[in-house]
Amino acid sequence: MLRLNFVNRPKASRSPQRLSFLTSAADLNGCPKDRIPEIALVGRSNAGKSTLINGLAQARIAQVSSTPGKTRLLNFYTYPTYRLVDMPGYGFAKRSGVEQADWTAMVERYLAERENLVGLLLIMDIRRDWTEDEDTILRWLSPRELPSAVIATKADKLTRNDMLNRKRLIQKQSSNEAVLVTSSLNKTGYQEVEDFVFQSWIEDLG
């Protein structure tokens, strides 16, 4: 398993500072050259990744486009002790074969080779079923034995009972108990996501 040695970085601690944009990269070579741990955000083009980032930041730092699949770069957003890496969305039907191949190469290489990576958040619309696309993402991650969680967005589109049923179904379909639910309309779930990531994947890094 590939794992970056974080021994020379300050011990992770909870900070009141919010998420902020750092930089973008077109490929792995353009990623920041440091030892800060990273959490990848992967999801369909219309899953609500940018909205999730803005909710965590409590500010509009990620562009929410009306055109799915617009993001083509790795976008880095930073907390004081770790980063979120927003990856280009998958499943956008209008992409050309070349664009789809470029997306696959970028994402697969990042997940396989980026030593800073310590976990992955798979973002999905809570109304969607788990598919082979989501299984493919986790297969790319599995050789490194890194953890993942599912963020189910757009919970405000459902009643509470339907939301709970969908959450249980996603847990079953994904074989992952770590399913967190967010709503941009109600501004709920963001603190739970931040707490989960920090407590599960960041806090104990040496």
Query: Given 1.10.10.10, 3.40.50.300, 3.40.50.1980, 3.90.1150.10, which CATH number is that of 20-201?
Result: 3.40.50.300
pLDDT given at position 93: 47
pLDDT given at position 72: 77
Average pLDDT over residues 63-82: 77
Pairing of strands 117-125, 74-78: unpaired
pLDDT given at position 7: 45
Neighbours of 51 (CB within 10 A): 19
Share of the chain above pLDDT 70, in %: 83
Whether pLDDT at 147 is above 60: yes
Q: What is the pLDDT of residues 164-203, one digit of tens each?
A: 999 999 999 999 999 999 999 999 999 999 999 999 999 9
Print burial letters for 154-190: b (CB count within 10 Å at least 16), e (below 16). Answer: bbeebeeeebeebbeebbeebebebbbbbbbeeeebb
Q: What is the pLDDT of residues 105-141, one digit of tens each?
A: 888 899 999 999 999 999 999 999 999 989 988 998 8
The domain segmentation of the chain, as residue ranges, is: 20-201
CA distance 135 to 201: 21
pLDDT given at position 11: 55
Which residues, in sequence order, are bridge partners of residue 152? 124, 181
Q: Strand, helix or coil at 184?
A: coil
Structure tokens of 102? 């470029």
DSSP state, 66? S
Pairing of strands 117-125, 148-153: parallel
Q: Strand, helix or coil at 133?
A: helix
Q: What is the pLDDT of residues 3-15, one digit of tens each?
A: 455 545 555 555 5
Query: Read out DSSP for 13-50?
Result: ---SPPPEEEEEESSGGGS--S---EEEEEEBTTS-HH
CA distance 58 to 81: 18
